[in-house]
Structure formats: structure tokens, C-alpha cells
Structure 1
Amino acid sequence: MKSMTFKWISGSYYFAFLLPLCLVGNVLLIVTLWKNIQTKFEAPQYKFVMSLAFSDVAFSLLFLSFTIAPFVIDTWPYGHAFCQVHGCLNMTLAFASLLNLVAISVDRYYACCKPLHYHQKMTPRRVTLMIAAAWIYATVLALLPILGLGEYRYFANKYSCSMVWDMKLKNGIYVKVTGALCFFPSLLLIVFCYIKIYQAVKHQKQQVNQVNNYFNNTNNAKNLKKDFRGALTFIVVIIAYFITWVPYVGVHMVSLYTHSDAATMVVAENFVDGMFSLASAVNPFIYSVMHGPIKREIRKTVCCLKPL
């Protein structure tokens, strides 16, 4: 009885709440940015936001939607080959989201800390290459289990195929490789960028009192303050992302290196999996609340979608 209750609570969360929230929110964000990509949202940061939103839409369409049938019939109906594809998609989109956040952090670092060099560093060509590199690198890392380093398997309690977290030789190596080549360097780089941004904000505030006329009478000062305000939105996005990511990684690391109670670990893994998936749904709502230009344009897009 308890397992059935948990199943339907879990199903309601994923399919009645998370799936439509993730899909509608991110599609609305992409449409809003795309409509204004040549005018209001031509800056590099918005291309990174679109790439991040695209990964979240793909997560809902290509990953979550294929868990509905296993949830209903309690088995994986698509065969072993598609199980490998399904698991690979999950990891690709997870890595791509993280790497897009790294790109956003680097972009904001240059905008806030090195504004005079920003347009030299973040050229349209370089931004395109950064986005392409993020997706290619994410795909390569996700393909490693299919090539033999790691393993994707169907998990009945998750209704999906995902990475096997254990200390068997190939799985343990994969966890260590992805941690060393993606997760931990990304975390350190993001933290470094926003520490530098915080220091720049602090320094800028100190300079206002000393050269008040300069900051009040030049467009440069206005642009700096605008960049600092914009960085706050991305900081919140990244904090929200790591609030959902860190427990996921932490719980699975505990299961790797300890002999915790199996039933307890299943409950813990289901909980952090739900939090991890929530990361794909929260970003559009952060932008619609905190980012003034995006908030205004989303409202216009919603009004255009209303029936006449």
C-alpha cells in the first residue's frame, strides 16, 4: 500500500507538475528571447540562456516524457538499445546544463570585471563556439558508458534508465572521471567568477564616493551598474541549480563509499532525483521575476498568446 501511495505521489509530481511546468516555462522563455534576439536580447548572455533553456526543454521532451509508459506498466517497454540512449540523453542534458552555467559565469565575469575587454572577448563567433563546445563535451562524457566506461541501466523505482552508481571498476572510474573533468572544475570556475564579480561590485561601490561625478555623468558607469544588477539574476539561477545538484551528487557519493541501509538510500535517491529534475523548471520563473527586460517581454508574449 505504501509503495503504491509513493508511486502515485511520485507520478503526480513528475507528470502533473514538473513535466508541464518545465515544458511551458522554458518554451515561453525561448520564444520570448528568439522574438527579440536581434534587438533587445542580442547580448551574448541571452544566447547562453537560450542554450540552457533548450537543454531543459529537451529534458522534458526526450527524457521525462519517456518515463510515463514505464510508470504506468511497471516495466521498460522500449528495449535495451533505447535504454542506453535514454540514459545517455539524461547525462548529456545534465552536463550541458552545467557547462552552459559555466559559460554564463564566464560571460558575466568579463562583463563585470573586465568591461573594457568584454566585446573583444565575447564576440558572436566565440559565443557560438563556446555553446557548441559545451554540447559536444557533454555528449562525449555521456557516451562513455555506451563505449564501455560505465553502465546505463533501467531502475524500476525511477521509471527511467540512468547511470549505475556503484564501485565496480568501470562505473567507479566513470564517476571519478566525470567528477574530475566536469563537475568539480565547473563548480570551482563558477565560484571563482562570482567571487571576482562580488569583489568588483564592492570595489565599484567604494569608487563611487571618490569619483562621484565620473560615475554619475558617464554611460560607462551606467553600463557597469546594469551589468552588476544583471549578474544578480544569474547568481540566483546558479544557486538554485546547485541547491538541486549538490544533494544529488552527495547522496550518490554516500551510496558509493558507504554501506548505508538500502531502503533508506532508495528513499534518499528518489528525493534528490526529484530535486535534480526540478532544476530544469525553475530557471524561467527566476528570469520572469528578477530580470526586468525578460520579465516585461514574457508578459508581452503571454498577452499575445491569449485568445482574442
Structure 2
Amino acid sequence: MSSQTYTLMNYLIQCVEAVLIVVGNSLTLIAVKKTKSLNRIPTNVFIVSLATSDGIIGLLIPILISVKLLDSDQIWIGTTCLLHGPYFSMFSISLLTLLAIAIDRYHAVVNPLVYRQRMTLRKARIITVVIWIMMFGIITGSTCYFGIYNNVIQLKTRVLGLLFPKLLMTILKQLLILSPVLGNVVIYIIIYKNLKSKNKVGPSGNNHECCQNTSSKATKSYVRMMVLVLAYLITACIPYYIIDGIVKQKNSNSPSWLVYLLDVSIILFYSNSFMNPVIYSWKNRHFREAYKTIMICEQSFGGTREIRRISTRIDTSV
């Protein structure tokens, strides 16, 4: 296989992934929008944010691939702010949103009664807006600054190389990515220990405890779902950032097998954005029923009534 054929096949796979990302996350957005009980749960505000950022990543992937195929420095400079900044911003928003979900689940498990009183849809939306404004501003702004300053003014080796050594920038980049992931891991370990200690106590048998147990089951379901999302995120992202860091340090001295391994890790990295809806449908019956209903509604009449009927069965106590 020639190198050109290999490159085209690699980019074709990435474009297929982009389609899956857009379709899967659009399905999640429609499910939460059209199913009343789903859009009344504060946690699902973060799910919508996660699906939106992943969906935008899917839309940007084919454009980024086109820029790579053109292989023009002038085009790259022009698209630094328009494409690369938003792309890295969306991924950073996804990571921080996952951290927000972990913190939300922590409070739901540790203080369930207080959580229901304090965590509202309005607060969840405010947190989401803050995450988007903060990460989009920081990541896009820094990407534009370093991209334009580095490529147009041509002072990388003379100034930026002294102020921001390549190894230091690589380490800072990895820490920026790993910090939210490690934060998620720590929080879910605490949640697991808390749930384990509650299971040892056992139910008391009265109605109040029965309601608490029902709510606890719903909370555990969301926790399991998000732990699986986090586990796949780690599986998909860690290999890419390790291999990408090695390749960038070696520059043109990287062996061909390492470059091929980097391409595989990029495909795995992109898959994280379309696997989330798959995990939702697998681990949460409410999302699964909503997905099925949406697809039925697209093919037959009376779908709105069916969505309302199914939505009434969803436990809003999560």
C-alpha cells in the first residue's frame, strides 16, 4: 500500500467517525429535549453540554482533515483561530463537564436530601455557561496567540523557544488534560467507597427508607454510567497523548511504526466522542427508551404521544 493510499484510508476512517459522532450526539440532544422527564434532571444539563461539545468536534474533524490534505502553511495560519482553537476548546469543555458531573454525583450520593434542595436546573445551566465561556476563552485565545505569533512573526526559536521550552510546553499540555481526568478518578473512588459503606448499613423497611433506596438505585445507575464514560475516555485519550508527546519530541526522527501507532491512537481518540451515546443507551434504560422512541417517531405518526408516555415512567429522583 502506497503512503498516499494509506493517508486517504486513514482520513476516510476519521470522517466516518465524524459522522458517527454527529449522529450519536444529536440523538442524545433530541432525547433530552423531547423527553420531559429527562430534561427536568439537572445532571442531564451537563449531559447536553457534553453531547454538544462532542458533536461540534465531529463537525470540525472533516474540516481539519481537509486542511491537512492541502498541506499549506498559509492555510494553517488562517485556520488556527477558526478551527484549532475551537477544537481544543471543545475537548477541554468535555473534560471539565465530566468533572462537573462527577462533583454533581458526589453530592447526590453523599448528601441526597440536601442535593435535591440545592441543585436546580438553573444552577446546572449557570455552571455549564461558566465552563463554556472560561474554557473557550482560555483555550481559543491561547491557541490563536501561539499559532499566529509562532507562524507569522517567526520568533519561535529566538523568543518562544527560550520562554516556553518545547518539553515544558508538552508537560504543561499533558497536565492540562490529565488534571480533570485524575480529578474524576479521585471523586469516583470516593463515591464508590461511600456507596459501599451505605450498602453495609442495609434498608430499615419503612416508607421513607424505601423512597431513599429507590432514589439511591437511580443515582447508582447514573454513577455506573458515568464511570464507564470516564473509563473509556482514559482508554481512548491516554495512548494518544503519550504517543503524540513522544513523536513531537523526536520530530522527523520518529520511526515509521511509531507514526502508524500515532494514527491508530488518533482514531481511538476520536472514538471517545461517539461512544458516549452508546454507553448511555447501554447503561441507562431511560436514554435507551428515549432513543428507540425518537427513531420510531421518525418512521410513524403518533410519536409525540409515545414520547410523553415513556417519559412518565422515568424516575426524576436522580
> Could you state the TM-score of these two structures normalised by the residue count of structure 2?
0.80
**Distance in 2 of aligned mates of 1:213 and 1:230:** 24
Local SS of the residue matching 2:243? helix
1:222 has 2:232 as partner: no
1:54 has 2:48 as partner: no
| Partner of residue 267 from structure 2, selected from 269, 274, 277 | 274
Q: Which residue of 2 aligns with 1:289?
A: 282
Identity of aligned residues (%): 20
> Is contact 2:96-2:180 (8 Å) kept?
yes
Structure 2 unpaired stretches of 5+: 152-159, 302-318
Q: Deviations over 1:110-132 (max 9, x none)?
A: 11122122134423332122212
Q: Which residue of 1 aligns with 2:304?
A: none
Q: Deviations over 1:130-161 (max 9, x none)?
A: 212221232213421322389888xxxxxxxx
1:185 has 2:185 as partner: no
Q: What displacement does 1:168 show?
A: 4.2
> Is contact 2:188-2:227 (8 Å) kept?
yes
Q: Deviations over 1:227-274 (max 9, x none)?
A: 112211111111111111111221233345668734343223222211
Question: Which AA in structure 1 matches 2:40?
Answer: E
Q: Which residue of 1 aligns with 2:201?
A: 207
Q: Which residue of 1 aligns with 2:314?
A: none
**Distance in 2 of aligned mates of 1:120 and 1:149:** 46
> Is contact 1:69-1:77 (8 Å) kept?
no
Local SS of the residue matching 1:39? coil
Q: Structure 2 matches for 1:76-225, cutoff 5 A?
A: 78=75, 80-139=77-136, 140-148=138-146, 168-169=161-162, 170=164, 171-180=166-175, 182-208=176-202, 211-214=203-206, 218-225=210-217
Question: Which AA in structure 1 matches 2:296?
Answer: C
**Distance in 1 of aligned mates of 2:247 and 2:68:** 24
Question: Which AA in structure 2 matches 1:185?
Answer: S
**Distance in 1 of aligned mates of 2:18 and 2:178:** 28
**Distance in 2 of aligned mates of 1:221 and 1:81:** 56
Q: Deviations over 1:44-64 (max 9, x none)?
A: 111101100001111111x11
Local SS of the residue matching 1:234? helix
> Is contact 1:113-1:196 (8 Å) kept?
no
Larger relative contact order (C-alpha < 8 A, sep ≥ 6)?
2
Give the 3 Å change call, closer, same or farther, for CA 207–150 of structure 1 in structure 2: farther
Question: Which AA in structure 1 matches 2:2?
Answer: K
> Is contact 2:67-2:75 (8 Å) kept?
no
- Paired residues in the alignment total 289
Q: Which residue of 1 aligns with 2:232?
A: 240
Root-mean-square deviation (CA, aligned residues, Å) is 2.8
**Distance in 2 of aligned mates of 1:77 and 1:150:** 11
Higher mean C-alpha deviation, range 263-272 or range 127-136: 263-272
> Is contact 1:141-1:178 (8 Å) kept?
no
Question: Which AA in structure 1 matches 2:119?
Answer: M
Give the 3 Å change call, closer, same or farther, for CA 74–261 of structure 1 in structure 2: closer
Give the 3 Å change call, closer, same or farther, for CA 280–307 of structure 1 in structure 2: same
> Is contact 1:215-1:221 (8 Å) kept?
no
> Could you state the TM-score of these two structures normalised by the residue count of structure 1?
0.83
Q: Deviations over 1:144-200 (max 9, x none)?
A: 1322389888xxxxxxxxxxxxx94535444444444x3233122211211111112
> Is contact 1:33-1:41 (8 Å) kept?
yes
